[in-house]
Amino acid sequence: MLNRLSIRSIFLPTLVGVALLASVGCQEVPVTGRNAINLVDDQDISKKAAEEFASIKKMQRASRNPAQIRIVEQIGRRLSKTVFWDVPHADWEFAVFHAPGVMNAFAMPGGKVGVFSGLIDFCENEDQLASVIAHEIAHVAARHTHEKYSQGWMLKPLGAATSIGIGTTIGGTGIYVPSVGSTAGGGVTAITQSAFDRGKELEADHIGLIYMAKAGYDPRQSLRLLQRMEEDIASKGGPTANGWLANHPSFPQRQIRINELMDEAMSHYEKGEVSRTHTVIE
Ligand SMILES: [Zn+2]
């Protein structure tokens, strides 16, 4: 049974949250137009993310593969130009980490992006790699980390809000981490624990698909990559091995949604307003 104190401890933070919401407000998510709460100062979270990114770069081994660095820079240039008006204050930086077998990438508020070499090795072409990076950038543009913090704050007493560290949810979504045993893999797992719920993952798929198409990448390659990943996971004994699917929508769910959005994405792609590259990854 709830006594008066516990009722207060449940409702007071919510009331504080609602009051904050009214004063700080909502934001509209790019592409989907969804209204999301945002009680987080953009500069503040970007600064923390930049610090976190700097320490990740110290922990991870930087790639020395010029072809991999070039392809990620190329994708980064095209996507960051595409998303400019959705994330105008971002200071984009794209790091490539030498981590064979680690099929992962992440993006942080403020525009810090990390790509692991195992993902580049797995992709057949630039378009597939762009689909993953576009998905990660979509989380940033949609301010999913801001929203997650904002929701957390609404459920906590105000005093506790200041103690939420960015390190616990940074990065984000981790596409797929197959080699948890290695040094690189171990580090990566900590960084890329999925921070978002399935709804946000599907939203990032949607936004990312439109972004990649606008940047001149073939959106059909995103389906091809998902299919290949699904086959790869199945060949390695199923999705539960790494546990990452727990916070991600299933492959069929993602594929169905992406298929539904394909006409819209193709119409952006076929406009062909940008210079294109479709490097094949050997
Ligand atoms: Zn994601």
Of 12-26, 115-129, 147-161, least confident by mean pLDDT is 12-26
Element (H, E) at 106: strand 105-108
Asked if 24 and 39 touch (Cβ cutoff 8 Å), the reply is yes
CA–CA dist 55, 164 (Å, integer): 18
Measured in whole angstroms, the distance separating CA 97 from the mean position of its chain's CA atoms is 17
Asked if 219 and 269 touch (Cβ cutoff 8 Å), the reply is yes
CA–CA dist 205, 249 (Å, integer): 10
| pLDDT (tens digit per residue) in 45-68 | 899 889 989 999 999 999 999 999
Average pLDDT, the chain: 78
Could you tell me the distance, in angstroms and rounded to a whole number, from the CA of residue 11 to the centre of ligand 1? 31
Could you tell me the distance, in angstroms and rounded to a whole number, from the CA of residue 44 to the centre of ligand 1? 22
In this predicted structure, the answer to whether residue 7 has a pLDDT above a threshold of 50 is no
Could you tell me the distance, in angstroms and rounded to a whole number, from the CA of residue 7 to the centre of ligand 1? 36
pLDDT > 90 in the chain, percent = 50
Could you tell me the distance, in angstroms and rounded to a whole number, from the CA of residue 201 to the centre of ligand 1? 5
Mean pLDDT score, 203-213? 96
Mean pLDDT score, 129-142? 95
In this predicted structure, the answer to whether residue 213 has a pLDDT above a threshold of 90 is yes
Could you tell me the distance, in angstroms and rounded to a whole number, from the CA of residue 8 to the centre of ligand 1? 36
Q: Model-level pTM?
A: 0.79
Question: In degrees to the nearest 10, what's the CA dihedral of 255, 258, 259, 265?
Answer: -150
CA–CA dist 278, 133 (Å, integer): 15
